[in-house]
Amino acid sequence: MTKGKTGNSKFLKAYNETYILNLIRVNKSLSRADISKATGLSPTAAGGIVSSLIEKGYLCENGTGESKGGRRPVMLELKKNSRYSIGLDVDVDSVTFILMDIKGRVVFEWSSALVDNRPAAVASLAAEEIERVLSDCRIHKDKLLGIGISVPGMVDAETRRVVLAPNLSWEDADFGRMLREKIELPVYIENEAMASAICENWIGACKSVDNFICVNIKSGIGAGIFTGGRPYRGTGGSAGEVGHIVVDENGLACGCGNHGCLETIVSTGRIVEKAEKLIKKGLKSQLNEIENVSKVRLSNIVDAARSGNQAAGGLLEEAAGYLGIALSYLVNTLNPSKIVLGKDFVVYGDLVMDTLRRVVDRKALKRPAANVEIAVSEIGERSSTLGAAIIPLKILFGS
């Protein structure tokens, strides 16, 4: 974080307002003297900007701090419920929403089922839901900083169009524009895994980490990559498609045209399919406690593994082994200091982490492997929705 800048232009005033807002966000509470010292601005200049931010409703005075000689300083903090953002995460059959205030507090959280998941239909539903909740919560639209969107697909780095979201059957969809025209607010669209990485960087396991990778494992597998403290999207926005790293050249065909992609082995759907096949074979002690084949869920498999079922444990161990191979490629190529595994992996990560770590240590180069921490996300399924809600806040705070 650089210091505040001196000068009289509107640009410098806006820069210093953003800087001071973020300074208070990071420190929770500061006095005017603290702000002057931290920014390098004169007490008069810093005080003027603080007064402007109070007048705009972003800041409030809240009690006094410890005296360092003389009068006790008045402390400043972000004013709760002064501004809001909304994040929405689009999945195959539902949209999840989070209403967040300026302090990052989740004010309201809800989901809506999707009957029609075509882009225009999803935009209409999202706009209706947002308008309804704003009305129910008595929040005027001018208090909303914007809408962040998380989608499970590639987002063009320049146009922000959804290039391809195969699980949604979206291709070249300008979903952000569709929603913006209906809601008449700023809209920011992001790949699901990158939204999760933004969340981990803002409030999760990577708050002080500059080089990390957030890998989401669900119906697909994607990664959000941060390098030098900033998101890395690649030339066209497709960086992080780790689900299409080939880990078994003799494996199943993938929708991308290759065989043996990580997604064909480690995705939640594939693990469930393997469990169903074992049940249908009726092998003794093979997942026989899962009675209804048509309703097998990942949770059933994980519960069986925790109960000591070797077949269930074997399915998860196999997936972890192949995931470890893919992660070793990432370790060698990107040399991250941390890899965070999220979404469905959170459900069973503790059961297979030792296997995963052994594979990475065996397959990756010794030095980068020794320097990378591999962890299970503590946020889990909500990370992409939270990350989407954080995007408008990041813009406000200039971070």
The full set of domains in the chain, from first to last, is: 10-78 (1.10.10.10), 84-201+383-397 (3.30.420.40), 206-377 (3.30.420.40)
State pTM to two decimals: 0.91
Structure tokens of 95? 């949209």
Structure tokens of 304? 């069986």
Average pLDDT estimate for 121-128: 97
pLDDT score, position 137: 93
pLDDT score, position 7: 54
Measure CA 32 to chain center: 34
Coil, helix or strand at residue 213: strand
pLDDT score, position 256: 84
Whether 338 contacts 368, CB under 8 Å: no
Q: What mean pLDDT, rounded, does the chain reach?
A: 92
Q: What is the pLDDT of residues 66-117, one digit of tens each?
A: 766 667 889 999 999 999 999 999 998 999 999 999 999 999 999 999 999 9
Return the closest-CA partner of residue 87 out of 65, 67, 109: 109
pLDDT over 80 (residue 163): yes
pLDDT over 60 (residue 291): no
Whether 394 contacts 186, CB under 8 Å: no
Q: What is the pLDDT of residues 175-234, one digit of tens each?
A: 999 999 999 999 999 999 999 999 999 999 999 899 999 999 998 899 999 999 999 999
Alpha-carbon distance of 46 to 18, in angstroms, equals: 12
Percentage of the chain modeled with pLDDT above 70: 94
